[in-house]
Structure 1
Amino acid sequence: MSNFWVNLYKFPRFLISVLIGFFLTTFQPIFKLLNNKKNKLLFITIIAIIIGLCYIIIQIMADNI
C-alpha cells in the first residue's frame, strides 16, 4: 500500500514534465521560423486574423443567446 502513495506523490512531477515537454516540442519549430523577418510578419498576421475571427464568432454566439 505504501508503494501506491509513493507513486501518487510522483504523479504531479511526471505530469508537469510531460506538459513542459509537449509545449517545448510543439513550439520549437515555430521559434525557428520566427528568425526570418518575413516569416515573423506572416506569423503575426495569421495570429491576428485567428484572434479576430474567434472574437467575431464569440460575439455572434453571444448575440444569439
Structure 2
Amino acid sequence: MNTFWNNITKFPKFLISVIIGFFLTTLQPIFELLKNKKKRLFLTILACLLILTFYQIFKGMLGLN
C-alpha cells in the first residue's frame, strides 16, 4: 500500500512538468519572433488590436457603457 501512495504522489509532479513543457514548446517560436525588431513591433501592434477587438466585442455583447 505504501508504494501505491508513492506512485500517486508522482502524478501531480508529472502533470505540472507536462503543462510547463507544453507552454515552453508552444511559446518558444513566439519568443524567437520577438528577437527581430520589426517582427516585435508587428506582434505588439497585432496583440493590442486583438485585445481592443475583444474588448469592443464583449462591451457590445454585455451592453456596457
TM-score normalised by the shorter chain: which range applies? Answer: 0.7 to 0.9
Asked if residue 23 in structure 1 is aligned to residue 23 in structure 2, the reply is yes
Moved over 4 A (4+): none
Query: What's 1:32 paired with?
Result: 32
CA distance in 2, matches of 1:10, 1:57: 43
Aligned letter for 2:16? I
- Counterpart AA for 2:43: F
TM-score by length of 1: 0.85
1:5-16 to structure 2, matched below 5 A, reads 5-16=5-16
TM-score scaled to structure 2, two decimals?
0.85
- Two-structure CA RMSD over aligned residues (Å): 1.6
How far, CA to CA, are the matches of 2:63 and 2:8 in structure 1?
A: 46
Q: Deviations over 1:2-40 (max 9, x none)?
A: 443222211110111001100110111111111111000
- Equivalent position amino acid for 1:40 in 2: R
Letter in 1 for 2:40: K
Query: How many pairs align?
Result: 64
Unaligned runs of 5+ in 2: none
Instruction: Name the counterpart of 1:63.
Output: 63
Gaps of 5+ in 1: none
